[in-house]
């Protein structure tokens, strides 16, 4: 097995600095996310994930560094990961004492280093333990007053990661069965000619060539599609700059068998050809032949 394509991000930093938020960002970017993993077992975890079916080629881990002894383990584990040919990046999450203090007071959680000392002393003790780690990491991100979108941008920029494009789900449905509750955009295509009333098309679906040929003969279809595709491409590009990583576009006709299916198929395939990551779903295609 070759590890040349395997990428791993190890996240560490101060408690309350946003390590879990950084991990969530990487998970949304397609990384397998593992939180609060003892550093000693990280190499074994990576090996397990690489060898499982399907295998993982992008892994993000938040490692526990709670003791002075954890620091030496941290560096030895990083050396072991790199020796296996894995492309490794290390990220140190940081924040001011005031920000961490405020977050702990809000969450009312206990700081690991707060053993009989005040919270500010615990923060100072952790900073001292992690000082050498911070100096050796590939990137440091301060999370004071940062939004999720800003955090994503900083992680992508500082670690020189490839940003994933938003995925698009294109679906068809029948209004008689209800509008999909998770759809971001719903297009009612009942204005198009209805193949259901053509005897030879009645029992077919929008995936069949005769139905497509029939509908393509009407200028209303091409006019609608020509206006829709640029709009969807624009919205997709905007989504890729936000924390929302998936867009669901739903086409609805009466029964979800002919018109909506044909539109979902053609629009989905056109978007895929333009480089978008597209999934096509037909929710109601088999729920009846009346459209």
The answer to whether the beta carbons of residues 144 and 99 sit under 8 Å apart is: yes
The whole-angstrom separation of Cα 37 and Cα 48 is: 14
DSSP assignment of 234-260 equals HHHHHHTTSS--EEEEEEEESSSSSHH
Instruction: Report the pLDDT value the prediction gives residue 57, as an integer from 0 to 100.
Output: 86
Q: List all residues 6 or more positions away from 65 whose beta carbon is below 8 Å from its beta carbon.
A: 12, 39, 71, 74, 129, 130, 133
Angle at 11 between CA 7 and CA 17, to 5 degrees: 150
Q: In 75-87, which positions are buried (b, 16+ CB within 10 angstroms) versus exposed (e)?
A: eebbeebeeeebe
The two tokens of residue 137 are 């990491």
Q: At what angle do helices 209-216 and 259-273 cross, to 10 degrees?
A: 90
Each residue's pLDDT, cut to its tens digit, for the chain (291 residues) gives 444 478 899 999 999 999 999 999 888 888 899 998 888 999 999 888 888 877 788 899 998 788 888 898 999 999 999 988 899 999 999 999 999 999 998 888 888 888 888 889 999 999 999 999 999 999 999 999 888 778 888 888 888 776 555 678 999 999 999 999 989 999 999 999 999 999 999 999 999 999 999 999 999 999 998 899 888 888 877 776 665 667 899 999 999 999 999 999 999 988 888 777 788 999 999 886 544
Q: What are phi and psi of 280, to 5 degrees?
A: -115, 125
Report whether 173 contacts 179 (CB < 8 A). Answer: yes
Could you tell me if 118 and 40 are in contact, meaning their C-beta atoms sit under 8 angstroms apart? no
Hunting for tokens 């397990």 — which residue is that? 48
pTM of the model as a whole: 0.63
Non-local (6+) Cβ contacts of 234 within 8 A are: none
- Cβ atoms of 281 and 172 within 8 Å: the answer is yes
């Amino acid at each position: 097995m070759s590890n040349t394509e395997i990428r791993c991000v190890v996240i560490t930093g101060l408690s309350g600095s946003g390590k879990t938020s950084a991990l969530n960002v990487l998970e949304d970017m397609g990384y397998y996310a593992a939180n609060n993993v003892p550093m000693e077992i990280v190499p074994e975890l990576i090996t397990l994930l690489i060898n499982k079916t399907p295998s993982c080629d992008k892994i993000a881990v938040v490692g526990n560094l709670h003791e002075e002894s954890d620091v030496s383990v941290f560096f030895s584990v990083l050396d072991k990961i790199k020796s296996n040919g894995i492309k490794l990046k290390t990220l140190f999450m940081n924040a001011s004492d005031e920000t961490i203090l405020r977050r702990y007071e809000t969450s009312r959680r206990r700081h690991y280093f707060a053993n009989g000392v005040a919270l500010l002393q615990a923060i100072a003790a952790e900073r001292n333990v992690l000082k050498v780690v911070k100096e050796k990491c590939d990137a440091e991100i301060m999370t004071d007053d940062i939004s999720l979108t800003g955090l994503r941008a900083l992680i992508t920029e500082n670690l020189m990661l490839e940003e994933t494009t938003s995925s698009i789900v294109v679906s068809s449905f029948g209004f008689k069965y209800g509008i999909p509750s998770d759809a971001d955009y719903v297009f009612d295509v009942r204005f198009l000619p209805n193949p259901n009333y053509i005897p030879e098309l009645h029992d077919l679906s929008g995936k069949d060539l005769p139905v497509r040929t029939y509908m393509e003969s009407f200028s209303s279809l091409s006019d609608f599609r020509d206006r829709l595709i640029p709009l969807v491409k624009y919205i997709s590009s905007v989504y890729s700059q936000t924390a929302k990583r998936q867009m669901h576009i739903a086409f609805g006709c009466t029964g979800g068998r002919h018109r909506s299916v044909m539109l979902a198929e053609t629009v989905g395939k056109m978007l895929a050809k333009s480089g978008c990551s597209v999934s096509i779903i037909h929710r109601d295609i088999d729920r009846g032949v009346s459209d």
